Structure 1
Amino acid sequence: MPKEKKVCAYCGESRFGLVRHFVGFHHLCTWFCKERFLERRARELADYRQLLNRVSHNRTVLRYRH
């Protein structure tokens, strides 16, 4: 089993109090860090989807698929 990290996945500080927030296997120190982490992850996923959409609809790529 991997050793638990003692830092927040968003801000990188080791200031866990009585409550530790989790998103998957990511440990977050405050509710604010949790919300920011989820926003950043949603933005990165949206950017990645847009990239895949542009690549899949690119005419030069479609020409070589046949």
Structure 2
Amino acid sequence: MDNEKKQVTYNSSITGETQVTFDIQQYMNNRAMFIGLMCNEDGYEEPFGDVTVNLSVAAPNYCGY
């Protein structure tokens, strides 16, 4: 399996274009899907933003909220 991180361009009217990678994991308390965006700042990978939020209700296996 290819574990190389693939970058995509996030385009914002405020910050312009930013190269980001997806960080896909699970929340510890309920194992729901977590999707975040990471960016590279000065050679270090840093959180850029969260795509999902952790809700207390169950979601289908293929969903992230």
What TM-score bracket applies, with the shorter chain setting the length? Answer: under 0.3
Q: Which structure: greater helix fraction? A: 1
* Greater per-residue strand proportion: 2
So what's the TM-score if we normalise by structure 1?
Answer: 0.25
- Name the TM-score, length of structure 2 as normaliser: 0.25
